[in-house]
Amino acid sequence: MWYEVHPTPVKGEDGKNLVYVRPKSGQKLTMKELEEKCEDYNALRYGELSRAFDAFIRVAGRFLAEGYRIETPIGSFAPKLSLAKQVTDASEVKDRDVRLEGVEYNPGKLWNREIQKWMDGFRRWQNADTQEILANKEKLEQVMRECIQRHHGYITASIFSRASGLTLYSARKQLNEWTKGNNPKLLMTPRGKEHIYTEI
């Protein structure tokens, strides 16, 4: 497995940023590509996997809505709840205070076993140095403006990450920096689960 090394914002005992590892960026399979792999490797007819997923999501969603935990060969799924406010007295909790946070997924040990079957060690990918990229603000700003031109006047953290070589975290942090100060370069606007940035 190819992996990359990136710094974190947390300092280590020597005063330098701790680093973390992650799989090499840019490696992604779409559902269409996964369907084709299943067709090639497991003799499934194209579309069977998507139909199975659709059926599973519809049926599992119904029972998750009723509070069930769903046990499957690929792990378990359960609704994740929270309270809309801090409460210390259990008797004060009302129905209207409960919120659905999402779905908790516990993969169990199955994925570890399956991945180990195919994995042949780890190999470091010489990815760009995040600190080195961040140090060249002039080049970063040039990349940002070129992205905005290519994407019809806006940019997102994921677009900037791919164009600059920064991690998604660092790309978002840099874009946010450009929205601050007395002379900001960008305006941040929420859009769905992410933010878009436009020039001021």
Cα angle for residues 123, 127, 131 (degrees, 5° grid): 135
Number of domains in the chain: 2
115, 172: one domain: no
Q: What is the DSSP letter of 96?
A: G
Q: What is the spatial distance between Cα 65 and Cα 39, in angstroms, rounded to a whole number?
A: 33
Walk along the chain (200 residues) in steps of 10 and give the mean pLDDT of each run.
Answer: 88 90 86 92 91 96 96 94 92 93 92 89 81 86 93 92 86 93 92 88
Residue 66 is predicted with a pLDDT of 96
Tens of pLDDT, residues 160-190? 998 998 888 889 999 999 999 999 999 999 8
Residue 27 is predicted with a pLDDT of 85
35, 117: one domain: yes
Q: What is the spatial distance between Cα 84 and Cα 90, in angstroms, rounded to a whole number?
A: 14
Model confidence, pTM: 0.59
Residue 52 is predicted with a pLDDT of 94
193, 117: one domain: no
Number of H helices, E strands in the chain: 7, 8
Give which of 22, 24, 3, 6 is closest to 124, Cα–Cα: 3
132, 178: one domain: yes
Q: What is the spatial distance between Cα 179 and Cα 175, in angstroms, rounded to a whole number?
A: 7
148, 136: one domain: yes
133, 70: one domain: no
Residue 17 is predicted with a pLDDT of 86
The answer to whether position 149 is within a domain reads: yes
State the residue range of the domain holding 56: 1-75+105-127
7, 22: one domain: yes
123, 169: one domain: no
- CA–CA distances in Å: residue 158 to residues 68, 69, 141: 35, 33, 16
